[in-house]
């Protein structure tokens, strides 16, 4: 395997299938005595900026109302 200039590497299909990893699956890298392991996490981490807003917008909201929700308070 080769690491890209962005630090990315492709997980081989067999490994993804064995671990049950599909797109959007959360994983962690665990270090143990100089070895690293890929571990599928049971719960997605809430690190993305807009995760707390997911699912609260409705078609009754205007674009401006939605934009106000997604902007951080100043």
**DSSP sequence for 2-70:** ---TTS--PPPHHHHHHHT--TT--EEEEEETTEEEEEE-SS----STTGGGTT---TTS-HHHHHHHH
5 lies in some domain: no
Tell me the residue range of the domain where 33 lies.
13-70
Domain count, the chain: 1
In this predicted structure, the answer to whether residue 2 has a pLDDT above a threshold of 80 is: yes
Model confidence over 17-69: pLDDT tens digits?
998 899 888 889 999 999 999 888 876 555 567 677 777 766 787 888 878 88
33 lies in some domain: yes
* Single pTM value for the model: 0.48
6 lies in some domain: no
30 lies in some domain: yes
Task: Return d(Cα 27, Cα 17) in angstroms, integer.
Answer: 14
4 lies in some domain: no
42 lies in some domain: yes
């Amino acid at each position: 395997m080769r690491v890209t200039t962005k630090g990315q590497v492709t997980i081989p299909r067999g490994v993804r299938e064995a671990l049950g990893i599909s797109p959007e699956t959360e994983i962690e890298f665990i270090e143990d005595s100089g070895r690293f392991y890929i571990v599928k996490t049971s719960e997605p981490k809430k690190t993305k900026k807009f995760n707390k807003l997911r699912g609260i917008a409705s078609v009754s909201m205007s674009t401006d109302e939605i934009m106000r929700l997604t902007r951080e308070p100043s």
